[in-house]
Amino acid sequence: AAAAARLPASGEAVATREEEQEEEGEEDLRDGGVPFFVNRGGLPVDEPTWERMWRHVARIHPDGERVAERIRGAADLPKIPIPSVPAFQPSTPIPERLEAVQRYIRELQYNHTGTQFFEIKKSRPLTGLMDLAKEMTKEALPIKCLEAVILGIYLTNNMTTLDRFPISFKTHFSGNYFRHIVLGVNFGGRYGALGISRREELMYKAPVFRTLSELIFDFEEAYRRCWHTLKKVKLGHCVSHDPHSVEQIEWKHSILDLDKLSREDFRKELERHARDMRLKIGKGTGPPSPTKDRKKDVSSPQRGQASPHRRNSRGDRR
């Protein structure tokens, strides 16, 4: 909350319902089921949203109204440092670049205020989301997990040998469902992830995993250590490196329900998704290029009836 105190004041926000949380990929490890707000009015923040944020902070913080009064009433709050956007030499190895990007995301800090400062509409074209990511770097406000994914895409656009794709998790703990999203990465055949979370083990994964299933199983084990049971995994396709692309990010190409899959079938579905991404890239259809898609109408590989847990992409439907 202290980091947010440098905000001027925020726009209309709406508490998310459970379905909306699933769509937006929101993650909440500690207080599942508690609505959070989204600033829909842009920046600077307007007065009604600003006041509502502080009322919400008073409700969810253990110290209640005292923490809001202590921060808002202080005349000498420390100046919050603005993290520098990472810049790289052409010779900087990709793994080092990924570490620097993750450090930057971490330095922005996780947003504990209960109000998400940037409205992320998953249906927006990539170019619009990249404009929003640029605004995030200017404002340098605390972020939640979906904002971190958009920022990760923006900061890795010039790493053309790196494949990026969204990974969403749904878990169950103590009667509540929780949702989280990270940006999966693949460099040189090794998988990893970028992101932000309250939990250290649910954020960055260095690109050292030989298979996609190894990466996902590592996340599953991390959830298990938090007493969470992994229920569902959603995998998107590779994201274009063209910041001006008008294509939408494909967030849910594969939807894997662990209650309906054996352990071995789960692993097979993960590896099938990894093969689909490689085939799509090998055929020149991914990361998606809007010009190629319109002119050539290239389809991604069709799936058989044996795998009912996956949705067809737009290319498949065409």
Amino acid at site 114: G
DSSP type of residue 200: G
- From the candidates 197, 245, 254, 300, give the one annotated as an active-site residue: 197
Does 197 qualify as catalytic in the annotation? yes
If one counts every other C-beta atom within 10 angstroms of the C-beta of residue 242, the result is 17
SS3 102: helix
DSSP line for 237-279: PPPPS-TT--PBP---SEEEETTSS-HHHHHHHHHHHHHHHHH
Q: How far is residue 253's CA from residue 267's CA, in Å, rounded to a whole number? A: 16
Q: How far is residue 222's CA from residue 258's CA, in Å, rounded to a whole number? A: 16
Ranges of H-type helices in the chain: 18-24, 47-60, 65-72, 94-108, 126-139, 145-155, 212-225, 263-282, 290-296, 314-317
Phi then psi for 238, rounded to 5 degrees?
-60, 145
Does 273 qualify as catalytic in the annotation? no
Chain centroid to Cα 169, Å, comes to 10
Amino acid at site 25: G
Q: Single out the residue of 127, 146, 150, 124 nearest to residue 137, CA to CA.
A: 150
- From the candidates 145, 168, 213, 237, give the one annotated as an active-site residue: 145
Calculate Rg over the CA atoms of the chain: 20
Dihedral of CA 130/131/137/143: which sign?
negative
Does 123 qualify as catalytic in the annotation? no
- From the candidates 10, 56, 168, 180, give the one annotated as an active-site residue: 180
Active site residues: 145, 180, 197
